[in-house]
Amino acid sequence: MRSLHTPLCDLLGIRYPILNAGIGPAAGPELAAAVTNAGGFGVLGGGGMPHEAMRKLVARTRALTEGPFGINAIVDDPAVPEDLEHLEGIAAMGPTAIVLFWGDPTPYIPIAHGHGVKVLVQVGSVGEAKRAAKAGADAVFAQGVEAGGHVRGTTPIWELLPDTVRARAEDTVLNDLYDGDWPNAPHRTLRNKTLAEWEAAGSPPHGSRPGEGTSIGRRTNSMGERVDWIRYSIGTAPPDFDGDIEYAPLWAGESCSDVNDIKPAERIVSDLVREAEAELAG
């Protein structure tokens, strides 16, 4: 049996990665609190609702549950003229997350984050998922064309969902940027600050790259000595690395898209064995 515990559980502080849709006034405090109390993430419908009314719903929800819950907001809602201001007001009510739907979420995300509120975005395409991720959304979830209500999706969920998950594979890139200590050996690494700064500088050749020759931090070498880690040098960051990990070559394959949990090694082995045996038996 696969574990139902996913990164979303840690992000939102919930037991199960299950949310109710913030279906306008139909998703009130009773529904949201019931979902939260059952271990999921309750979401209050909030599309176009004035702040005063929303505050009452939030207070009622807090009376019904001590757990985390979210508030839904429709981006670019013509019923709410001051959209950004509206979102600011909702964020100030202190939900765990704001759940956005429809237009471009980009301007709203920093406002919510400024209040310490997470942002989940419902998307209708892989392109929208990438845009939301780039804008700093904490999580996206996909709506297929078969969904009820306002439909942003154009693709059946069974195609869109795997495509959306796979889009994370693009976080890795095959490159030969890390040529210190081991030149001419291509690597696949996660995109990080070293790569971003090099690309922003126009991808200059060896010898004229940003920060070349400077230290990204200190690590213990195989001789047990503390040494500087020079930018563009290869290596795997040891637990005692003292520096900015975002500059280190973070080796990772496209299979990182399939990593949905961080578990102890023993658990990984036993889960793999159990799942493989179940698959073979079935």
Ligand X SMILES: Cc1cc2nc3c(=O)[nH]c(=O)nc-3n(C[C@H](O)[C@H](O)[C@H](O)COP(=O)(O)O)c2cc1C
Nearest to 244 by CA among 214, 221, 204: 214
Shortest gap between Cβ of 91 and ligand X (angstroms)? 17
In whole angstroms, how close is the CB of 38 to ligand X at the nearest point?
A: 18
Is the Cβ of residue 22 or residue 249 nearer to ligand X in the bound state? 22
- Measured from the Cβ of residue 163, the count of other Cβ atoms closer than 10 Å reads 13
Least gap, CB of 106 to ligand X (angstroms): 17
When the beta carbons of 27 and 93 are compared against ligand X, the nearer one is 27
Partner residues linked to 72 by β-bridges: 99
Of the pair 24, 89, the CB lying nearest ligand X is at 24
Min CB(125)–ligand X separation in Å: 13
Rounded to a whole number of angstroms, the minimum distance from the CB of residue 82 to ligand X is: 19
Return the structure tokens found at 177.
């940027």
What residues contact 113, with CB distance under 8 A and at least 6 apart? 119, 136
Q: Which is nearer to ligand X, 69 or 178 (CB)?
A: 69
Residues that bind ligand X (CB under 6 A): 21-24, 45, 47, 72, 74, 101, 122, 143, 147-150
Q: Shortest Cβ distance from residue 255 to ligand X (Å)?
A: 30
Closest-approach residue to ligand X (CB)? 149
Measured distance CA(262)–CA(147) in Å, rounded: 31
Read off the tokens for 277: 């045996």
Query: Where are the extended beta strands (E) located within 76-178?
Result: 97-102, 118-123, 139-142, 172-175
Name the nearest CA neighbour of 129 among 76, 91, 169, 69: 169
Nearest residue (CB) to ligand X, 72 versus 164: 72
Q: How many helices (H) and strands (E) does the chain have?
A: 9, 10
Q: C-alpha angle with apex 117: 111 to 118, nearest 5 degrees?
A: 100
Q: Which is nearer to ligand X, 61 or 143 (CB)?
A: 143
